[in-house]
Homo-oligomer: A and B are copies of this chain.
Amino acid sequence: MNNFVYYSPTEFVFGRDTESQAGELAKKYGAKKVMIFFGKGSVVRSGLLKRVEDSLSKAGLEFFEFGGIQANPLIDKAREGVEVAKKENPDMLMAVGGGSVIDTAKAVAAGYYYDGDVWDFYLGKCKPEKALKVSVVLTIPAAGSEGSGNSVITNMQTNKKLGLRMPLLLRPVFSIMNPELTYTLPPYQTACGISDMMAHIMERYFTNTKDVFVTDEFCEGLLRAIIKESPKVFANPEDYEARANIMWAGTMAHNDVCGVGREEDWTSHGIEHELSAIDDTIAHGAGLAVVFPAFLDAALQKNPSKVAQFAVKVFGVQPKANETETAKEGVAKLRAFFKSIGMPVTLTELGAEHVSIDEAVEHLRANRGDSIGFYVQLTMEEVKDLLRAVK
Contact = CB atoms under 8 A, between A and B. Distances in A.
Contact of A222 (B1, B214, B228): B214
A236 B217 CA distance: 23
A214 B245 contact: yes
Contact of A3 (B5, B10, B16, B220): B16
A181 to B, nearest CB: 14
A376 to B, nearest CB: 23
A273 to B, nearest CB: 27
A15 interface: yes
A245 B18 contact: no
A286 to B, nearest CB: 24
Complex copy number for this chain: 2
A374 interface: no
Nearest to A244: B1
Contacts of A213: 225, 228-229, 245
Nearest to A221: B217
A61 to B, nearest CB: 20
Interface residues of A, number: 43
A8 interface: yes
Contacts of A242: 211
Contacts of A3: 14-16, 18
Which of A11, A214, A220: most chain B CB closer than 10 A? A214
A48 to B, nearest CB: 18
B241 A210 contact: yes
A7 B1 contact: no
Interface string A1-42: 111111111111111101000000000000000000000000
Interface string A240-279: 1110110011001000010011000000000000000000
A178 to B, nearest CB: 9
Nearest to A168: B11
A391 interface: no
A224 interface: yes
Given A1-B245, A220-B221, A260 B14 contact: yes
A218 interface: yes
24 contacts: A1-B241, A2-B15, A3-B15, A3-B16, A5-B11, A5-B13, A7-B11, A7-B12, A8-B8, A211-B241, A211-B242, A211-B244, A213-B229, A213-B245, A214-B225, A214-B248, A214-B249, A214-B252, A217-B220, A217-B221, A217-B222, A218-B221, A244-B261, A252-B257
B228 A224 contact: no
Given A6-B12, A217-B224, A252-B257, 20 more contacts: A1-B240, A1-B244, A1-B245, A1-B248, A3-B15, A4-B12, A6-B11, A7-B12, A210-B241, A211-B242, A212-B245, A213-B229, A214-B221, A214-B222, A214-B225, A214-B252, A217-B218, A217-B220, A217-B221, A221-B221
Contacts of A244: 1, 211, 261
Nearest to A251: B6
Contacts of A214: 221-222, 225, 245, 248-249, 252
A72 B14 CA distance: 35
Nearest to A246: B214
A300 to B, nearest CB: 24
Contact of A261 (B13, B14, B220): B14
